[in-house]
């Protein structure tokens, strides 16, 4: 039996859409689209160009549709920590900040004035870095957070834009420094201590969660009917680890 799947792999410098064909226990990969991921620079500020990424993704999906083959599902992965804010209508609140934007330098003081480093690590197991989502959110202007209805990490935002369903997959939630892996849920302790609006944090999805079908308008545009959007492993590093052909528990 032959099964086909689409992967949207987004890196900090480029992205690609890949077709994976699984047959007789072997997988064959075919690149359908490759595109640059060039940040927008405005003085010292750095933003992600989400519309440009979507153009590259749509081109890859259209190439997949042109093959005329039955494809089971599509899923996106990307780098961690960065995020998209959505308003009440589900629209992206621009800009989408780059993790190298210098805004976090001042926000670090805000975070450490409210929560000490040992507590952050105890709650999340995540090392302290200026680019962490926790610090980025504390750099957000209150007005932007006030009009935000939902936060989605980059890969999960792409899955949302494809399906209309917004969830954050577990591996990506773990990169935010706001997720408690022991309790398998958002850290209310940290979110409250940092004064962040808890309502913007969506449901955390288990790996391999089917979100729903590709939006009808995208299915029509790309020729991909009956294609499911799946939150497989949203964090690119988690994908790399999962793909290691290792067995047993004692390996690294």
> Does 89 reside within a domain?
yes
87, 57 Cβ separation under 8 angstroms: no
Token couple for 203: 């449901």
Q: 192: domain range? A: 2-242
Higher pLDDT, 122 or 235: 122
Give the Cα separation of 54 and 116 in Å (integer): 38
pLDDT digits (tens, 9 = 90+) for 178-208: 999 999 999 999 999 999 999 999 999 999 9
pLDDT of residue 242: 80
pLDDT digits (tens, 9 = 90+) for 137-172: 999 999 999 999 999 999 999 999 999 999 999 999
Q: What is the CATH number of the domain that holds 138?
A: 3.30.420.40
Given 77, 82, 156, 236, the catalytic residue = 236
What's the number of CA atoms in the CB half-sphere (13 Å) around residue 30? 13
Number of domains in the chain: 1
> Does 192 reside within a domain?
yes
**SS3 assignment, position 69:** coil
Give the Cα separation of 211 and 205 in Å (integer): 9
Give the Cα separation of 123 and 125 in Å (integer): 6
> Does 174 reside within a domain?
yes
Q: Write down the mean pLDDT value for the chain.
A: 95
> Does 252 reside within a domain?
no
pLDDT of residue 66: 97
* Distances 132 to 62, 127, 138, 157 between C-alpha atoms, Å: 35, 9, 10, 18
pLDDT of residue 252: 66
> Does 247 reside within a domain?
no
pLDDT of residue 19: 98
pTM of the predicted structure, to 2 decimals: 0.95
The widest CA-to-CA distance across the chain, in whole angstroms, is: 58
Cis status of the peptide bond prior to 75, with omega within 30 of 0: no
Question: Catalytic: 77?
Answer: no
> Does 251 reside within a domain?
no
> Does 18 reside within a domain?
yes
> Does 248 reside within a domain?
no
């Amino acid at each position: 039996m032959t099964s086909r799947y689409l992967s949207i792999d987004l890196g900090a410098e480029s992205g690609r859409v890949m077709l994976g064909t699984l047959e007789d226990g072997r997988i064959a990969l075919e690149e359908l689209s490759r595109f640059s991921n060039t940040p927008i620079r405005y003085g010292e500020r750095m933003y992600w160009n989400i519309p440009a990424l979507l153009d590259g993704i749509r081109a890859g999906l259209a190439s997949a549709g042109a093959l005329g083959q039955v494809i089971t599902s599509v899923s996106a992965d990307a780098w961690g920590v960065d995020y998209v804010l959505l308003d009440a209508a589900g629209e992206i609140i621009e800009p989408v900040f780059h993790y190298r934007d210098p805004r976090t330098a001042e926000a670090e003081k805000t975070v450490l004035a409210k929560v000490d480093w040992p507590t952050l690590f105890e709650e999340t197991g995540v090392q302290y870095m200026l680019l962490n989502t926790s610090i980025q959110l504390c750099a957000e202007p209150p007005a932007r957070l006030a009009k935000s209805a939902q936060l989605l990490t980059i890969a999960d935002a792409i899955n949302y834009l494809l399906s209309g369903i917004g969830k954050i997959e577990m591996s990506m939630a773990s990169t935010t420094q706001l997720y408690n892996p022991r309790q398998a849920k958002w850290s209310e302790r940290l979110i409250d201590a940092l004064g962040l609006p808890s309502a913007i944090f969506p449901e955390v999805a288990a790996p391999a969660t089917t979100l729903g079908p590709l939006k009808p308008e995208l299915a029509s545009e790309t020729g991909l009917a009956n294609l499911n959007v799946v939150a497989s492993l949203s964090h690119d590093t988690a994908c790399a680890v999962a793909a290691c052909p290792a067995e047993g528990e004692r390996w690294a």
